[in-house]
Amino acid sequence: MLDKIEAFRKEILSSALNTPAQLEAFRLKFLSRNGLISTLFDEFKALPGVDKATLGKPLNELKVLAETMFKQCKEQFESSVSGSQSIRDDLTLPVHASLLGSLHPLTVVEKEIREIFFRMGFSISSGPEIEDDFHNFTALNFPADHPARDMQDTFFVRKGESGLEDLVLRTHTSPVQIRLMENQKPPIRSVMPGRVFRNESVTYKSYFQFNQIEGLVVDHGISMAELIQTLVTFAKMMYGSEIEYRIRSSFFPFTEPSIEMDVRTSSTTNWMEILGAGMVDPNVFEAVGIDSEHYSGYAFGMGIDRIAMLKYGFTDIRTLYENDIRMLEQFPL
Ligand code: DAH
């Protein structure tokens, strides 16, 4: 038996333990319940008393040797895979502080307006930012000498020469109404958000670009009463059901009659104008080939920037376009 112990000792010492698989094979061979060392112990128990005294010690040493080698190698393997493994498993580690983007205040307000109209059954449409004179002015019933066509207000992309039409940066979202009516037969019920441009000097309250949202409804028997009801519903959803409102008569070339709407909340003492609107002028229907004897419609338009400024307390419109990270960071998602 001593010979056997010595042979196993040599085998244990020369075992290759370079991989976890080799280590496991070593464990099964020597240390498992049916392994070689356990079997030796069984044999040892069956021996007569005299032999036990001389064999007990080397046998125990053999067992300790195998166990120590196993333990050391196991620890080594575990610490060498540790790096990634233990980091991956530690769920209490802080997350990387990566910078998340957020929505611009103008986007937030535009989304809110769109969602209110969406709930009232309006679709969303859009049109180009570079427009021709027909869609931006003529089809909207602007007379040829209307001051809005003036160089003062309009950015011209191409000044019409030799029979070419003027191309402009659209000065309002109303041309999208025209494009919608050209491309879609009534019934129409849509809102059209977008960026518009005016050749104005830059101050705290005016900028060369801003955002509007246009609305258009065309169908049989559309009335002024429905227009006003829609606008009042919108204003209450946007500014709160407690607001006061008033409707004033106004003028726009593309609507007849035309109105403007003001609202007043408990926190604002002054009336603030929030939109222009009216019944679609028959001349506009004629320009897009809709029969005004059979159809009627209403339109409205409002500025998004003003609403965002009121809502968030901006006092300078330029803040909305400078993209100063310190401002943007105040609007986390
Ligand atoms: N286009 C007008 C503007 O830029 C706003 C507007 C007023 C749009 C009345 C409309 C409307 O559709 O009916 O000032």
Q: Ligand 1: which atom is nearest the Cα of residue 177? A: 12
Q: What is the 3-state secondary structure (H, E, C) of the chain?
A: CHHHHHHHHHHHHCCCCCCHHHHHHHHHHHHCCCCHHHHHHHHHHCCCHHHHHHHHHHHHHHHHHHHHHHHHHHHHHHHHHHHHHHHHHCCCCCCCCCCCCCCCHHHHHHHHHHHHHHHCCCEECCCCCEEEHHHHCHHHCCCCCCHHHCCCCCCEEECCCCCCCCEEECCCCHHHHHHHHHHCCCCEEEEEEEEEECCCCCCCCCCCEEEEEEEEEEECCCCHHHHHHHHHHHHHHHHCCCCEEEEEEEEECCEEEEEEEEEECCCCCCCEEEEEEEEECHHHHHHHCCCCCCCEEEEEEEEHHHHHHHHHCCCCHHHHCCCCHHHHCCCCC
CA of 255 to the centre of ligand 1 (A): 9
Ligand 1 binding pocket mutation candidate from 113, 170, 254, 261 (most atoms within 8 A of CB):
254
Q: Ligand 1: which atom is nearest the Cα of residue 277? A: 13
Q: Ligand 1: which atom is nearest the Cα of residue 254? A: 13
Q: Ligand 1: which atom is nearest the Cα of residue 174? A: 1
Ligand 1 binding pocket mutation candidate from 146, 192, 300, 306 (most atoms within 8 A of CB):
300
Predicted confidence pLDDT, tens digits, the chain (333 residues): 889 999 999 999 988 888 888 999 999 999 999 999 999 889 888 888 777 778 889 999 999 999 999 998 888 888 776 555 555 677 787 777 777 788 999 999 999 999 999 999 999 999 999 999 999 999 999 998 888 777 668 999 988 777 888 899 999 999 999 999 999 999 999 999 999 999 999 999 899 999 999 999 999 999 999 999 999 999 999 988 999 999 999 999 999 999 999 999 887 788 989 999 999 999 999 999 999 999 999 999 999 998 898 888 899 999 999 989 999 988 887
Question: Any residues with Cβ below 6 Å from ligand 1, and which?
Answer: 172, 174, 214, 252, 255, 276-278, 299-301
Query: CA dihedral defined by 106, 111, 114, 116, rounded to 10 degrees?
Result: -110
Pairwise CA distance, residues 128 & 37, whole Å = 85
CA of 201 to the centre of ligand 1 (A): 21
Whole-prediction pTM value?
0.71
CA of 44 to the centre of ligand 1 (A): 104
Ligand 1 binding pocket mutation candidate from 140, 142, 154, 174 (most atoms within 8 A of CB):
174
**pLDDT at site 82:** 53
Nearest CA to ligand 1 atom 6: 301
Nearest CA to ligand 1 atom 3: 172
CA of 281 to the centre of ligand 1 (A): 12
**pLDDT at site 304:** 96
